[in-house]
Structure 1
Amino acid sequence: MSHTDDFVLDIGEIREKARKDVLDGAQTSSYSGDVATVIRLLNEALATELVCVLRYKLHHYVAKGIQSEAIAAEFAVHATEELEHADKLAARIVQLGGKPDFSPKGLAERAHSDYAEVDTLHDMIRENLVAERIAIDVYRELVRFIADKDPTTRRLLEDILAVEEEHADELSDWLVKTR
Protein backbone atom coordinates (compact mmCIF):
# COMPACT_ATOMS: atom_id res chain seq x y z
CA MET A 1 0.00 0.00 0.00
CA SER A 2 1.52 3.30 -1.05
CA HIS A 3 0.98 6.53 0.80
CA THR A 4 1.31 9.92 -0.83
CA ASP A 5 1.90 12.80 1.51
CA ASP A 6 0.62 15.98 -0.17
CA PHE A 7 0.85 18.03 3.00
CA VAL A 8 3.98 20.15 2.69
CA LEU A 9 4.82 23.18 4.78
CA ASP A 10 7.79 25.49 4.64
CA ILE A 11 7.65 26.41 8.31
CA GLY A 12 10.55 28.83 7.91
CA GLU A 13 8.63 30.76 5.25
CA ILE A 14 5.47 30.72 7.37
CA ARG A 15 7.37 32.10 10.36
CA GLU A 16 8.98 34.80 8.24
CA LYS A 17 5.61 35.92 6.78
CA ALA A 18 4.00 35.89 10.24
CA ARG A 19 6.64 38.24 11.58
CA LYS A 20 6.66 40.48 8.48
CA ASP A 21 2.88 41.05 8.38
CA VAL A 22 2.25 40.83 12.12
CA LEU A 23 -0.06 43.88 12.13
CA ASP A 24 -2.51 42.09 9.79
CA GLY A 25 -3.78 40.06 12.76
CA ALA A 26 -5.85 37.04 11.75
CA GLN A 27 -5.55 37.79 8.04
CA THR A 28 -2.47 35.91 6.85
CA SER A 29 -0.96 35.60 3.38
CA SER A 30 -2.75 32.26 2.92
CA TYR A 31 -6.13 34.05 2.97
CA SER A 32 -7.43 33.62 -0.56
CA GLY A 33 -10.68 35.57 -0.40
CA ASP A 34 -11.32 39.09 -1.63
CA VAL A 35 -11.25 40.79 1.76
CA ALA A 36 -13.04 43.96 0.66
CA THR A 37 -15.87 41.97 -0.94
CA VAL A 38 -16.22 39.65 2.04
CA ILE A 39 -16.37 42.62 4.42
CA ARG A 40 -19.04 44.29 2.24
CA LEU A 41 -21.10 41.09 2.11
CA LEU A 42 -20.77 40.58 5.87
CA ASN A 43 -21.88 44.18 6.47
CA GLU A 44 -24.97 43.51 4.33
CA ALA A 45 -25.65 40.37 6.40
CA LEU A 46 -25.11 42.46 9.56
CA ALA A 47 -27.70 44.99 8.37
CA THR A 48 -30.12 42.15 7.65
CA GLU A 49 -29.68 40.71 11.14
CA LEU A 50 -30.21 44.14 12.74
CA VAL A 51 -33.41 44.69 10.75
CA CYS A 52 -34.58 41.23 11.84
CA VAL A 53 -33.87 42.10 15.48
CA LEU A 54 -35.96 45.25 15.16
CA ARG A 55 -38.82 43.48 13.39
CA TYR A 56 -38.90 40.61 15.91
CA LYS A 57 -38.79 43.07 18.81
CA LEU A 58 -41.67 45.06 17.37
CA HIS A 59 -43.71 41.91 16.82
CA HIS A 60 -42.86 40.69 20.32
CA TYR A 61 -44.36 43.82 21.85
CA VAL A 62 -47.39 44.30 19.63
CA ALA A 63 -48.57 40.71 19.09
CA LYS A 64 -52.17 40.29 20.15
CA GLY A 65 -54.63 37.45 20.00
CA ILE A 66 -55.53 34.21 21.67
CA GLN A 67 -52.25 32.50 20.68
CA SER A 68 -50.07 35.57 20.97
CA GLU A 69 -48.42 35.11 24.36
CA ALA A 70 -46.35 32.03 23.48
CA ILE A 71 -45.55 33.25 19.99
CA ALA A 72 -44.60 36.73 21.24
CA ALA A 73 -42.20 35.07 23.68
CA GLU A 74 -40.64 33.16 20.78
CA PHE A 75 -40.34 36.39 18.79
CA ALA A 76 -38.20 37.68 21.70
CA VAL A 77 -36.05 34.53 21.56
CA HIS A 78 -35.59 34.95 17.81
CA ALA A 79 -34.64 38.61 18.30
CA THR A 80 -31.95 37.57 20.78
CA GLU A 81 -30.59 34.94 18.39
CA GLU A 82 -30.54 37.43 15.50
CA LEU A 83 -28.61 39.87 17.71
CA GLU A 84 -26.11 37.11 18.48
CA HIS A 85 -25.69 36.63 14.71
CA ALA A 86 -25.09 40.36 14.31
CA ASP A 87 -22.46 40.30 17.06
CA LYS A 88 -20.64 37.37 15.43
CA LEU A 89 -20.73 39.01 12.00
CA ALA A 90 -19.40 42.28 13.44
CA ALA A 91 -16.57 40.45 15.22
CA ARG A 92 -15.60 38.67 12.00
CA ILE A 93 -15.64 41.94 10.06
CA VAL A 94 -13.17 43.36 12.59
CA GLN A 95 -10.99 40.23 12.37
CA LEU A 96 -10.77 40.77 8.63
CA GLY A 97 -9.63 44.35 9.18
CA GLY A 98 -12.97 46.01 8.41
CA LYS A 99 -15.39 48.16 10.32
CA PRO A 100 -18.88 46.86 11.10
CA ASP A 101 -21.56 49.22 9.84
CA PHE A 102 -24.07 49.77 12.65
CA SER A 103 -25.22 53.12 11.28
CA PRO A 104 -29.01 53.44 11.27
CA LYS A 105 -28.67 55.62 8.17
CA GLY A 106 -29.41 53.35 5.22
CA LEU A 107 -29.86 50.27 7.40
CA ALA A 108 -33.03 49.15 5.61
CA GLU A 109 -31.39 49.67 2.20
CA ARG A 110 -28.34 47.60 3.17
CA ALA A 111 -30.47 44.75 4.53
CA HIS A 112 -31.71 41.87 2.42
CA SER A 113 -35.05 41.59 4.22
CA ASP A 114 -37.74 44.17 4.87
CA TYR A 115 -38.85 45.78 8.09
CA ALA A 116 -42.53 44.92 7.87
CA GLU A 117 -45.09 46.49 10.17
CA VAL A 118 -48.25 44.39 10.05
CA ASP A 119 -51.24 44.18 12.38
CA THR A 120 -52.27 40.55 12.80
CA LEU A 121 -50.36 37.75 14.49
CA HIS A 122 -50.73 35.64 11.34
CA ASP A 123 -49.22 38.42 9.21
CA MET A 124 -46.36 38.91 11.71
CA ILE A 125 -45.50 35.23 11.50
CA ARG A 126 -45.76 35.34 7.71
CA GLU A 127 -43.49 38.39 7.37
CA ASN A 128 -40.91 36.87 9.71
CA LEU A 129 -41.05 33.62 7.74
CA VAL A 130 -40.51 35.52 4.49
CA ALA A 131 -37.50 37.26 6.05
CA GLU A 132 -36.06 33.96 7.28
CA ARG A 133 -36.50 32.41 3.83
CA ILE A 134 -34.65 35.36 2.30
CA ALA A 135 -31.87 34.97 4.88
CA ILE A 136 -31.61 31.23 4.17
CA ASP A 137 -31.15 31.82 0.44
CA VAL A 138 -28.66 34.66 1.00
CA TYR A 139 -26.58 32.67 3.53
CA ARG A 140 -26.54 29.64 1.23
CA GLU A 141 -25.27 31.83 -1.60
CA LEU A 142 -22.66 33.43 0.68
CA VAL A 143 -21.44 29.98 1.76
CA ARG A 144 -21.21 28.94 -1.91
CA PHE A 145 -19.40 32.16 -2.87
CA ILE A 146 -16.87 31.99 -0.03
CA ALA A 147 -16.31 28.23 -0.44
CA ASP A 148 -12.76 27.30 0.56
CA LYS A 149 -11.35 30.84 0.32
CA ASP A 150 -12.26 31.68 3.93
CA PRO A 151 -13.14 28.62 6.05
CA THR A 152 -13.67 30.65 9.23
CA THR A 153 -16.24 32.95 7.64
CA ARG A 154 -17.86 30.02 5.85
CA ARG A 155 -18.25 28.13 9.14
CA LEU A 156 -19.74 31.21 10.80
CA LEU A 157 -22.23 31.61 7.95
CA GLU A 158 -23.12 27.91 8.05
CA ASP A 159 -23.82 28.15 11.78
CA ILE A 160 -26.06 31.18 11.26
CA LEU A 161 -27.77 29.44 8.35
CA ALA A 162 -28.66 26.47 10.57
CA VAL A 163 -30.37 28.77 13.10
CA GLU A 164 -32.23 30.62 10.33
CA GLU A 165 -33.51 27.26 9.07
CA GLU A 166 -34.72 26.41 12.58
CA HIS A 167 -36.52 29.77 12.75
CA ALA A 168 -38.18 29.17 9.38
CA ASP A 169 -39.31 25.71 10.45
CA GLU A 170 -40.88 27.08 13.65
CA LEU A 171 -42.53 29.97 11.85
CA SER A 172 -43.91 27.68 9.20
CA ASP A 173 -45.51 25.51 11.90
CA TRP A 174 -46.98 28.58 13.61
CA LEU A 175 -48.30 29.95 10.34
CA VAL A 176 -50.35 26.79 9.82
CA LYS A 177 -51.65 26.91 13.41
CA THR A 178 -52.79 30.55 13.19
CA ARG A 179 -54.88 30.28 10.03
Structure 2
Amino acid sequence: MTMTKNPPPTTVQQQQPFHIDKEALRAAARNLDDGAVTDGYRGNRKEVIAMLNDALATELLCVLRYKRHYYTAKGLENEPIKAEFLQHAQEEQSHADKIAERIVQLNGEPDFNPRTLSDRSHAEYDESESIKDMIKANLIAERVAIEAYRQMIERIGDNDPTTRHMLVQIMAQEEEHADDMTDLLDL
Protein backbone atom coordinates (compact mmCIF):
# COMPACT_ATOMS: atom_id res chain seq x y z
CA MET A 1 0.00 0.00 0.00
CA THR A 2 1.43 3.36 -1.00
CA MET A 3 0.65 6.46 0.95
CA THR A 4 0.30 9.73 -0.83
CA LYS A 5 1.61 12.72 1.01
CA ASN A 6 -0.52 15.83 0.90
CA PRO A 7 1.46 18.98 0.28
CA PRO A 8 1.85 21.10 3.39
CA PRO A 9 -0.74 23.84 3.75
CA THR A 10 0.41 27.19 2.46
CA THR A 11 0.47 29.79 5.18
CA VAL A 12 1.60 32.69 3.07
CA GLN A 13 -0.54 33.63 0.16
CA GLN A 14 1.31 34.87 -2.84
CA GLN A 15 0.82 38.58 -3.37
CA GLN A 16 1.68 40.70 -6.29
CA PRO A 17 4.60 43.02 -5.57
CA PHE A 18 3.59 46.57 -4.70
CA HIS A 19 3.96 48.89 -7.64
CA ILE A 20 3.21 52.57 -7.94
CA ASP A 21 2.21 53.79 -11.36
CA LYS A 22 4.64 56.70 -11.57
CA GLU A 23 3.20 58.07 -14.78
CA ALA A 24 -0.32 58.20 -13.33
CA LEU A 25 0.99 59.86 -10.15
CA ARG A 26 2.90 62.45 -12.13
CA ALA A 27 -0.08 63.20 -14.37
CA ALA A 28 -2.42 63.65 -11.37
CA ALA A 29 0.13 65.85 -9.59
CA ARG A 30 0.07 68.30 -12.48
CA ASN A 31 -3.40 69.45 -11.36
CA LEU A 32 -2.16 72.38 -9.30
CA ASP A 33 -5.57 73.80 -8.41
CA ASP A 34 -5.87 71.80 -5.19
CA GLY A 35 -2.50 72.64 -3.66
CA ALA A 36 -1.53 69.97 -1.13
CA VAL A 37 -4.75 67.97 -1.61
CA THR A 38 -4.17 65.14 -4.06
CA ASP A 39 -6.68 62.96 -5.91
CA GLY A 40 -6.21 60.27 -3.28
CA TYR A 41 -7.63 62.45 -0.47
CA ARG A 42 -10.62 60.51 0.87
CA GLY A 43 -11.92 62.91 3.52
CA ASN A 44 -14.96 65.12 3.22
CA ARG A 45 -13.07 68.39 2.91
CA LYS A 46 -16.05 70.61 3.63
CA GLU A 47 -16.87 68.71 6.82
CA VAL A 48 -13.24 68.51 7.95
CA ILE A 49 -12.73 72.24 7.40
CA ALA A 50 -15.91 73.00 9.39
CA MET A 51 -14.71 70.78 12.25
CA LEU A 52 -11.29 72.40 12.17
CA ASN A 53 -12.78 75.90 12.22
CA ASP A 54 -14.76 75.00 15.35
CA ALA A 55 -11.56 73.59 16.88
CA LEU A 56 -9.78 76.81 15.89
CA ALA A 57 -12.43 78.85 17.69
CA THR A 58 -12.02 76.63 20.75
CA GLU A 59 -8.26 77.05 20.81
CA LEU A 60 -8.47 80.82 20.38
CA LEU A 61 -11.02 81.09 23.19
CA CYS A 62 -8.75 78.96 25.37
CA VAL A 63 -5.86 81.33 24.66
CA LEU A 64 -8.01 84.24 25.80
CA ARG A 65 -9.22 82.43 28.93
CA TYR A 66 -5.72 81.38 29.97
CA LYS A 67 -4.35 84.88 29.27
CA ARG A 68 -7.10 86.46 31.36
CA HIS A 69 -6.37 84.08 34.20
CA TYR A 70 -2.64 84.76 33.89
CA TYR A 71 -3.12 88.51 34.15
CA THR A 72 -5.82 88.52 36.82
CA ALA A 73 -4.51 85.89 39.25
CA LYS A 74 -3.24 87.73 42.31
CA GLY A 75 -0.72 86.96 45.00
CA LEU A 76 2.91 85.96 45.08
CA GLU A 77 1.91 82.47 46.18
CA ASN A 78 0.16 82.07 42.79
CA GLU A 79 3.17 82.93 40.61
CA PRO A 80 3.81 79.24 39.69
CA ILE A 81 0.14 78.83 38.75
CA LYS A 82 0.24 82.02 36.70
CA ALA A 83 3.32 80.66 34.88
CA GLU A 84 1.36 77.48 34.10
CA PHE A 85 -1.55 79.55 32.73
CA LEU A 86 0.83 81.49 30.49
CA GLN A 87 2.51 78.34 29.21
CA HIS A 88 -0.88 76.81 28.41
CA ALA A 89 -1.97 79.97 26.62
CA GLN A 90 1.13 79.74 24.42
CA GLU A 91 0.53 76.06 23.70
CA GLU A 92 -3.13 76.70 22.86
CA GLN A 93 -1.95 79.40 20.44
CA SER A 94 0.35 76.85 18.84
CA HIS A 95 -2.61 74.49 18.43
CA ALA A 96 -4.61 77.28 16.79
CA ASP A 97 -1.74 77.99 14.41
CA LYS A 98 -1.47 74.33 13.38
CA ILE A 99 -5.21 74.07 12.84
CA ALA A 100 -5.34 77.26 10.76
CA GLU A 101 -2.43 76.02 8.66
CA ARG A 102 -4.18 72.70 8.05
CA ILE A 103 -7.39 74.47 7.02
CA VAL A 104 -5.41 76.40 4.41
CA GLN A 105 -3.72 73.18 3.21
CA LEU A 106 -7.20 71.76 2.64
CA ASN A 107 -8.03 74.85 0.55
CA GLY A 108 -10.27 76.29 3.24
CA GLU A 109 -10.42 79.64 4.99
CA PRO A 110 -9.58 79.76 8.70
CA ASP A 111 -12.34 81.64 10.55
CA PHE A 112 -10.84 84.15 12.97
CA ASN A 113 -14.03 86.24 13.20
CA PRO A 114 -14.17 87.52 16.79
CA ARG A 115 -17.95 88.13 16.57
CA THR A 116 -18.67 84.39 16.24
CA LEU A 117 -15.72 82.97 18.16
CA SER A 118 -17.59 82.20 21.38
CA ASP A 119 -20.56 80.62 19.60
CA ARG A 120 -18.31 78.32 17.53
CA SER A 121 -16.08 77.30 20.44
CA HIS A 122 -16.63 74.00 22.22
CA ALA A 123 -15.27 75.50 25.45
CA GLU A 124 -16.52 78.52 27.35
CA TYR A 125 -14.83 81.75 28.32
CA ASP A 126 -14.38 82.30 32.05
CA GLU A 127 -14.06 85.37 34.25
CA SER A 128 -13.47 83.68 37.59
CA GLU A 129 -11.76 85.72 40.25
CA SER A 130 -10.51 83.05 42.64
CA ILE A 131 -7.52 80.95 41.65
CA LYS A 132 -9.35 77.72 42.51
CA ASP A 133 -12.28 78.67 40.23
CA MET A 134 -9.84 79.58 37.44
CA ILE A 135 -8.19 76.18 37.71
CA LYS A 136 -11.58 74.42 37.71
CA ALA A 137 -12.73 76.38 34.66
CA ASN A 138 -9.53 75.49 32.81
CA LEU A 139 -9.82 71.82 33.76
CA ILE A 140 -13.40 71.73 32.47
CA ALA A 141 -12.35 73.41 29.22
CA GLU A 142 -9.48 70.94 28.76
CA ARG A 143 -11.85 68.03 29.30
CA VAL A 144 -14.25 69.52 26.74
CA ALA A 145 -11.40 69.89 24.24
CA ILE A 146 -10.21 66.31 24.82
CA GLU A 147 -13.66 64.90 24.12
CA ALA A 148 -14.20 67.16 21.10
CA TYR A 149 -10.89 66.04 19.59
CA ARG A 150 -11.68 62.39 20.33
CA GLN A 151 -14.97 62.72 18.46
CA MET A 152 -13.31 64.49 15.52
CA ILE A 153 -10.60 61.83 15.33
CA GLU A 154 -13.23 59.12 15.35
CA ARG A 155 -15.27 60.87 12.64
CA ILE A 156 -12.26 61.42 10.35
CA GLY A 157 -11.07 57.84 10.79
CA ASP A 158 -8.51 56.87 8.17
CA ASN A 159 -9.91 59.21 5.51
CA ASP A 160 -7.49 62.06 6.31
CA PRO A 161 -4.37 60.72 8.05
CA THR A 162 -2.63 64.11 8.15
CA THR A 163 -5.48 65.86 9.96
CA ARG A 164 -5.99 62.83 12.19
CA HIS A 165 -2.30 62.81 13.19
CA MET A 166 -2.40 66.53 14.00
CA LEU A 167 -5.55 66.13 16.11
CA VAL A 168 -4.07 63.17 18.01
CA GLN A 169 -0.99 65.25 18.85
CA ILE A 170 -3.10 68.21 20.00
CA MET A 171 -5.36 65.94 22.06
CA ALA A 172 -2.32 64.45 23.81
CA GLN A 173 -1.19 67.91 24.86
CA GLU A 174 -4.73 68.78 26.01
CA GLU A 175 -4.59 65.67 28.21
CA GLU A 176 -1.31 66.96 29.68
CA HIS A 177 -3.01 70.30 30.35
CA ALA A 178 -5.88 68.53 32.13
CA ASP A 179 -3.35 66.63 34.26
CA ASP A 180 -1.62 69.91 35.10
CA MET A 181 -4.89 71.52 36.18
CA THR A 182 -5.80 68.44 38.24
CA ASP A 183 -2.43 68.66 40.00
CA LEU A 184 -2.99 72.37 40.70
CA LEU A 185 -6.38 71.63 42.26
CA ASP A 186 -4.63 69.41 44.78
CA LEU A 187 -2.28 72.18 45.98
Read off the aligned partner of 2:117 and give its amino acid letter.
Answer: L
2:136 and 2:112 map into 1 onto residues whose CA distance is 27
Shift of the alpha carbon at 1:5?
4.2
| Correspondence for 2:82 | 72
2:41 and 2:93 map into 1 onto residues whose CA distance is 28
Change (3 A) 1:9 1:77: same
Post-superposition, which runs of at least 4 consecutive aligned residues in structure 1 deviate over 3 A?
Answer: 5-8
| Correspondence for 1:15 | 26
With the length of structure 2 as denominator, give the TM-score of the two structures. 0.90
Matched, 1:61 2:95: no
Tell me, yes or no, if the aligned pair for 1:44 and 1:111 is still in contact at 8 Å: yes
2:41 and 2:105 map into 1 onto residues whose CA distance is 12
1:67 and 1:142 map into 2 onto residues whose CA distance is 39
| Correspondence for 1:133 | 143
| Correspondence for 1:31 | 41
SS of equivalent residue, structure 1 residue 67: helix
Shift of the alpha carbon at 1:66?
5.7
CA displacement 1:152-177 (0-9 Å, x = unmatched)? 00010011001000000010011122
Tell me, yes or no, if the aligned pair for 1:65 and 1:121 is still in contact at 8 Å: no
| Correspondence for 2:4 | none
Shift of the alpha carbon at 1:2?
5.0
SS of equivalent residue, structure 2 residue 149: helix
SS of equivalent residue, structure 1 residue 99: coil
CA displacement 1:13-62 (0-9 Å, x = unmatched)? 2211111x212111011000000110010000000000000000000011
| Correspondence for 1:108 | 118
1:3 and 1:159 map into 2 onto residues whose CA distance is 37
Picking from 75, 79, 97, the partner of 1:87 is: 97
Shift of the alpha carbon at 1:96?
0.3
39-48 vs 1-10, which moves further: 1-10
Percent identity for Structure 1 against Structure 2: 52
CA displacement 1:55-88 (0-9 Å, x = unmatched)? 0000001112463110001100000000000000
Larger Rg: 2
Q: Which runs of 5+ in 1 are unaligned?
A: none
Read off the aligned partner of 2:94 and give its amino acid letter.
Answer: E
